[in-house]
Amino acid sequence: MRKNNIILIGMPGSGKTTLGTELSEIIGYGYIDSDSVIIAREGKRLNEIIEEVGREGFLDIEAKVNSEICADRCVIATGGSVIYRDYAMQKLKEMGTVVYLKLPYEIIEKRLGDLKKRGVALKDGFTLKDLYDERTPLYEKYADIIVDLKGDSKEKSTELLARAIGK
């Protein structure tokens, strides 16, 4: 398997989908949104899947879908919770360069609305801050490249991302 994909990881609201589509246009790669693949395969929205099978069941579905992606020269935007299953992350790392889109908590908090409607895999009793604090070390663990974003414009953030990956 050739390692020529760009895999974006990060918190919900970090810009994986927005910047991923922009980056794919700039570098001439295909684009895959793994959340969209999950929705298509399951025939339900993410929040409906979580309600039906619970957080752990959803994480298993998400990991299975991500570990089965076959891609060549694609930007892949993953769901924010993909980092909870090591086997999925190892498969993604075999496929390409994993890029963590890092944003300060305050910006994530401003961007996100209702976490349950958004389909965020949240532990019972967890706040968004708890989630951020739990996930940040995992994103950093799996990242080949960390791109520190500051909530700038889409254009400036995409340019920063493209430079970080050498494009």
pTM: 0.93
Whole-Å CA distances, 14 to 10, 124, 132: 6, 22, 11
* Distance in angstroms (rounded) separating the CA atoms of residues 96 and 115: 29
Domains of the chain listed by start with CATH number: 5-161 (3.40.50.300)
pLDDT digits (tens, 9 = 90+) for 88-121: 999 999 999 999 999 999 999 888 866 666 667 7
pLDDT digits (tens, 9 = 90+) for 13-40: 899 999 999 999 999 999 999 999 999 9
